[in-house]
Structure 1
Amino acid sequence: MINKRIFVAGMAASVLFSACKTKDLKMSTSKEENAPTNKVVVYQVFTRLFGNKNTTNKPWGTIEENGVGKFNDFTDKALHEIKDLGVTYIWYTGVPHHALVRDYTAFGISNDDPEVVKGRAGSPYAVKDYYNVNPDLAENPANRLQEFEALISRTHKAGLKLIIDIVPNHIARKYEGKNNPEGVRDFGADDDVTVEYKRDNNFYYIPNSPFEIPDNDVPLNGEKNPLIDGKFLENPAKWTGNGSRKARPDQNDWYETVKVNYGVRPDGSKDFPELPAGYDQKSYQEHFAFWQDKDVPNSWKKFRDIALYWTAKGVDGFRYDMAEMVPYEFWSYMNSAIKMKNPDAFLLAEVYNPNEYRNYIRLGKMDYLYDKVETYDKLKDVIRGKSSPDGLSDIQNRMSDIEHHMLHFLDNHDEQRLSSPEFAGTPERGKPLMVVSATISTSPTMIYFGQEVGEAGNEDAGFGKRSRTSIFDYIGVPNHQKWMNDGKFDGGKLSDSEKSLRDFYKRLLNFSIKSSALMGSFQEIQSVNRQNNSYGELIYSYVRWSEKQKLIVVTNFSSEKTSEFELKVPADVISKWKLKDGSYVLVDKLYSKSKTYFTVKNGEGTALVKIGPSESFIYEVN
């Protein structure tokens, strides 16, 4: 499995990336459109795995051997417990029908060739039919769409909103739109396959060259299957999803997918209208109006229609896979159309190039981007002993104009589990990272199911290996299954430490969605406290405030050392807070057990703090 971020970095000089060059953008000072007034918390679930009660976990196991979760496993009780955790949105990952190795021909679904499927259960990012859902997820595959529609209703009834994936950059090698609405033509149905490129072709082609299976590809771990014959019929071959132009892609390429053509010529130039200067300052309504009389490539219309189809069914937003591989003009076109139907739609993009952030937010009209290569990577370096926490302040200040748009996370389906030895090592060591991730900015916070009970991703699932919970295999998620407790969703099988960890997440997330200060201002106080010799090397502190609430956040990344010191809050913060000289009480909002006195004298604040290993305080000034 190729690392997406390494791939993107390697593609930085490619012609396709040259189509998305950064423009010099004036800093936006306009009021945020439809900005939330409270913190948003996203709970990502890998839908296929969430409800699976089977604990066999055989590598390369079948559904019969290892089990699979269903839409119906998201019961009213399960959804209530997720909401009670402090969640506002659920991201149901892996819902659109993607390629997989299982016989559903009795339901009118063609078999997928294992030679262009990763794993047995298949990658959720090799979508086979955008107008239906994964048959694995349904009790009755014939009614799979109706079962998902019922889940949409249950989710909303529970007081939650939901998002699903859309993957505009690539689709499954064998895409078959058998559920297209009337008048919708399938991808590639009208393509001229005799040329490499044509603006309204949906794909790029390699004329006169048939597709060849990658060398050393061993589908299903060598298991015999009547569809495994060393070939996959595709003539002419199409460009592979990551942009490979080889008829025989490399084993590390995204060979199970094909790249979608958005009107970017093979030399990287654009074959569509560009946004005029100043559109980084314009609203989604103005972006929508701009595109109304424009002739755009056929693929743009197809994906817009897909997004509007799911929006009409009640889906509240989308997470876009590898969004930076698609030009931001397309995102302007599609996102503005979505916002015209649902102004509150939640639009989240996977983007890893900081130089492109403002383009995709301001020109592409994205609500949120992954804060991966800045905050996430810094926190991971800190807990692994590779970096000081001081740089967190620089990141926050550097992105102050867009910080609200940079979604924070420590765990997701692509990354190593927070509790794994490759990351924090233990759930306890992940706690200070989580406090900072959730409280340092106004951005949404995301957690990945199982994170809140210390899931470490130790399984060898087959195609997917340990440290990440596999997205390619039928597998169980052990710590999550203990919380699930055979469908009771009451944590009945959790250990005391796992229950305590979930309680920590519940306290933190619920505080975050109710705190006005966390939607207010940020200022680091790290630099002034660093001068104190008793201030530990791995302590980090900052303040957050609104008119109604003033917070001091102190966290200890050390898992071994207790630090005791005099915390200082500088005069400029005290002035902004309009505090007079005198004594105040600091109450920790995580557990409300720790109180300390805060003294303001000559316009400067001080408090004695004793903080244990991996401990954090969110002090409210009373």
Structure 2
Amino acid sequence: MINKKVFVAGLAATMLFSACKTKDLKMNKKEETPAYRKIVVYQVFTRLFGNKNTTNKSWGTIEENGVGKFNDFTDNALHEIKDLGVTYIWYTGVPHHALVRDYKAYGISDDDPEVVKGRAGSPYAVKDYYNVNPDLALNPANRLQEFEDLIARTHKAGLKVIIDIVPNHIARKYEGKNNPEGVKDFGADDDVNVEYSRNNNFYYIPNSHFEIPDNDIPLNGEKNPLVDGVFDEKPAKWTGNGSRKVKPDQNDWYETVKVNYGVRPDGSKDFLELPAGFDQKSYEEHFAFWQDKDVPDSWKKFKSIALYWTAKGVDGFRYDMAEMVPYEFWSYMNSAIKMKNPNAFLLAEVYNPNEYRNYIRLGKMDYLYDKVETYDKLKDVIRGKSSPDGLSDIQKSLSDIEHNMLHFLDNHDEQRLASPEFAGTPERGKPLMVVSTTISTSPTMVYFGQEVGEAGNENAGFGTRSRTSIFDYIGVPNHQRWMNEGKFDGGKLSDSEKNLRDFYKRLLNFSINSPALMGSYQEIQFANRQNNAGYDELLYSYVRWSENQKLIVVANFSSEKTSEFELKIPADIISKWNLKDGEYTLTDQLYLQNKTKLNVSNGEGRAKVKIAPSESFIYEVK
């Protein structure tokens, strides 16, 4: 049964959203400007993207399972990514992180497997922020230059570059061997005899030795001279997720240590907070505010890191676990980045809806993950746990920040969209992708392999199936078939995989060229769920429009049922669109084949729709 109170609230809110959408878009005047088009981010796990090896041995070495390199992102590969409808590439796992491999010939110390997850290591246990992962280079001695060359190739292809910064924690064994002049290592000046000091980079457990977690079996029990049950850390430091134990639990982020930003152990702040009203101030005003302020040492270190990569041509950053770091720090660092590059793309991993606006308005973030709202709702819908009706309420709750909430259905942390644990098949993921891409003005993100149905079925070792492992050397089968030994032409894809990639290409390219998708939104779900024969509970519909384009989106989340019904377009929308009584053609913009008629009579619209299982239409009104 439809919840009328929910729908009425949602309808009121979405009408408000239509009237007061993000002020700075001003689409009626600027909708033909490229800067006001949709952003599409293509996330690649860099060490996996170019790997042609298909062995996929669990816990396999780099020699057994292979690894991708910076140079695998050829001009042709980048062209194909751009042609998919992509505007930014997020190269995940670029900064030099801890891993289990001998690079001593290049001046790199060994990492103890007992504080490395997997063999290839977590990209979020960064060991040296001023260099890059040696696994990714043809010549590890020249690894930084090889990445700089990749930045240049990416820009030449018309794409922008995002990399990770992980301010909350660093590798247990951090060694800044490539620091710029005047930059000291993390912890170099710390007073290790106290738990906390404002300018310490870490929190300490004085007079203690770090202990390896129980049940930690590094390298799956393989013999290694560094595996001796001991990691030399005295005094022990707090662990990355905030654990204050000398011996962290196995599920703690034991491979990392938490960075101190001047937050005392009791949670109080040991630094100046932003004055009232700064949520309404520009990044220039935030930057000016911090110029004469004394800030904790860790703030300065991470600002230097961000500006170092900005100077090398990196166009933006994805910040891991940003909500574990105070938003005053983000104000300090992000405003400095924006002063160097006003168009920098700053994306934060934040999961607490109560903090969204603080990180956007006070922390000066451009975008946050829309994980616990839109992503979780769509996942529940396709798994049969929820009706799509609640999507309207989500749009209501986020109406003032909808542009800042990046949408995704797949990333390195989540179960693959096509996995049995999520949608089950790539085709069942299609209506989710249409809604995720078109329901708001926010950026869309696609994880490499998603567009060819990668299901993450490999037992990689430390990493578990349903997620493509971020800890192991592994191949990505569906993606490898598209890569086709470096031809990047899809030559080994099945027909269904080719069709799926064609669907993504059509959808993403439409989205980046549609002015309506940067315009207004209003749900029409309530009008159609009331007394509408044939309008199934697993259907969802809404409209998007700008001055020159009007769209009607209908998605069928059912994988079994074809629905046939008369779609209603309420009178208030017909009025906003200035449609006179008469007949209009609706043409689906994904395939330009499905057409129907919109009949407007007495100021209300109706259109006959027949929609197959897992099908979606993006009708344009003509």
TM-score under structure 2 normalisation?
0.95
Match of 1:336 in 2: 335
Aligned-partner Cα distance in 2 for 1:503–1:28: 32
SS in 1 for 2:335: helix
Match of 2:318 in 1: 319
Aligned-partner Cα distance in 2 for 1:595–1:166: 47
Letter in 1 for 2:179: N
Kindly indicate whether residue 139 of structure 2 is the aligned counterpart of residue 140 of structure 1.
Answer: yes
Match of 1:5 in 2: none
Aligned-partner Cα distance in 2 for 1:35–1:119: 43
- Residue 31 of structure 1 deviates from its aligned partner by 3.2
Aligned-partner Cα distance in 2 for 1:482–1:606: 44
- 1:93–1:253: structure 2 CA closer, same or farther, 3 Å change rule? same
- Residue 534 of structure 1 deviates from its aligned partner by 1.1
CA contact (8 A) 1:28 1:280 kept: no
Aligned-partner Cα distance in 1 for 2:60–2:258: 30
- Residue 372 of structure 1 deviates from its aligned partner by 0.1
Match of 1:263 in 2: 262
Aligned-partner Cα distance in 1 for 2:410–2:378: 12
Residues 537-575 of structure 1: per-residue CA shift (max 9 Å, x gap): 101000000001000000100000000000000000001
Kindly indicate whether residue 371 of structure 2 is the aligned counterpart of residue 378 of structure 1.
Answer: no
Kindly indicate whether residue 465 of structure 2 is the aligned counterpart of residue 472 of structure 1.
Answer: no
| Superposition map of 1:362-441 within 5 A | 362-441=361-440
Match of 1:552 in 2: 552
SS in 2 for 1:390: helix
Residues 490-529 of structure 1: per-residue CA shift (max 9 Å, x gap): 0000000000000000000000000000000000000000
Residues 22-51 of structure 1: per-residue CA shift (max 9 Å, x gap): xxxxx9976379994000000000000000
Aligned-partner Cα distance in 2 for 1:108–1:411: 37
Kindly indicate whether residue 452 of structure 2 is the aligned counterpart of residue 459 of structure 1.
Answer: no
Residues 371-412 of structure 1: per-residue CA shift (max 9 Å, x gap): 000000000000000000000011011110000000000000
| Superposition map of 1:158-197 within 5 A | 158-197=157-196
Aligned-partner Cα distance in 2 for 1:69–1:246: 37
Kindly indicate whether residue 578 of structure 2 is the aligned counterpart of residue 578 of structure 1.
Answer: yes
Kindly indicate whether residue 604 of structure 2 is the aligned counterpart of residue 604 of structure 1.
Answer: yes
| Superposition map of 1:32-43 within 5 A | 36-43=35-42
Kindly indicate whether residue 584 of structure 2 is the aligned counterpart of residue 564 of structure 1.
Answer: no
| Superposition map of 1:73-84 within 5 A | 73-84=72-83
Residues 199-246 of structure 1: per-residue CA shift (max 9 Å, x gap): 000000000011000011100000000000000000000000000001
Letter in 1 for 2:576: K
Kindly indicate whether residue 13 of structure 2 is the aligned counterpart of residue 31 of structure 1.
Answer: no
Letter in 2 for 1:556: N
- 1:458–1:483: structure 2 CA closer, same or farther, 3 Å change rule? same
Match of 2:308 in 1: 309
Percent identity between matched residues is: 86
Aligned-partner Cα distance in 2 for 1:172–1:289: 33
Aligned-partner Cα distance in 2 for 1:99–1:352: 26
Aligned-partner Cα distance in 2 for 1:32–1:561: 39
Letter in 2 for 1:111: D
Match of 2:617 in 1: 617
| Superposition map of 1:508-527 within 5 A | 508-527=507-526
SS in 1 for 2:375: helix
Unmatched 5+ residue regions in structure 1?
A: 1-26
SS in 2 for 1:280: helix
- Residue 269 of structure 1 deviates from its aligned partner by 0.5
Aligned-partner Cα distance in 1 for 2:368–2:607: 37
SS in 1 for 2:271: coil
Letter in 2 for 1:538: L
Aligned-partner Cα distance in 2 for 1:36–1:103: 46
Aligned-partner Cα distance in 2 for 1:466–1:611: 33
Residues 572-606 of structure 1: per-residue CA shift (max 9 Å, x gap): 00011011100000010000001101111000000
SS in 2 for 1:77: helix
Match of 1:534 in 2: 534
- Residue 465 of structure 1 deviates from its aligned partner by 1.2
Match of 2:12 in 1: none
Match of 2:126 in 1: 127
SS in 1 for 2:150: helix
SS in 1 for 2:295: coil
Aligned-partner Cα distance in 2 for 1:158–1:288: 32
Match of 1:21 in 2: none
Residues 149-190 of structure 1: per-residue CA shift (max 9 Å, x gap): 000000000000010000000000000000000110000000
CA contact (8 A) 1:30 1:281 kept: no
Match of 2:277 in 1: 278
- Residue 533 of structure 1 deviates from its aligned partner by 2.7
Aligned-partner Cα distance in 1 for 2:21–2:217: 51
Aligned-partner Cα distance in 2 for 1:397–1:273: 34
- 1:311–1:454: structure 2 CA closer, same or farther, 3 Å change rule? same
Letter in 1 for 2:518: M
Unmatched 5+ residue regions in structure 2?
A: 1-19, 27-32
Aligned-partner Cα distance in 2 for 1:35–1:323: 29
Aligned-partner Cα distance in 2 for 1:28–1:323: 26
SS in 2 for 1:467: coil
SS in 2 for 1:120: coil
TM-score under structure 1 normalisation?
0.95
Match of 1:238 in 2: 237
Aligned-partner Cα distance in 2 for 1:247–1:505: 48
Match of 2:209 in 1: 210
Aligned-partner Cα distance in 2 for 1:332–1:91: 22
Cα RMSD, aligned residues only = 1.2
Letter in 2 for 1:85: L
Match of 1:17 in 2: none
Count matched residues. 596
- Residue 263 of structure 1 deviates from its aligned partner by 0.1
Aligned-partner Cα distance in 1 for 2:24–2:375: 27
SS in 2 for 1:396: helix
Aligned-partner Cα distance in 1 for 2:74–2:360: 35
- Residue 443 of structure 1 deviates from its aligned partner by 0.1
Aligned-partner Cα distance in 2 for 1:577–1:316: 38
CA contact (8 A) 1:121 1:474 kept: yes
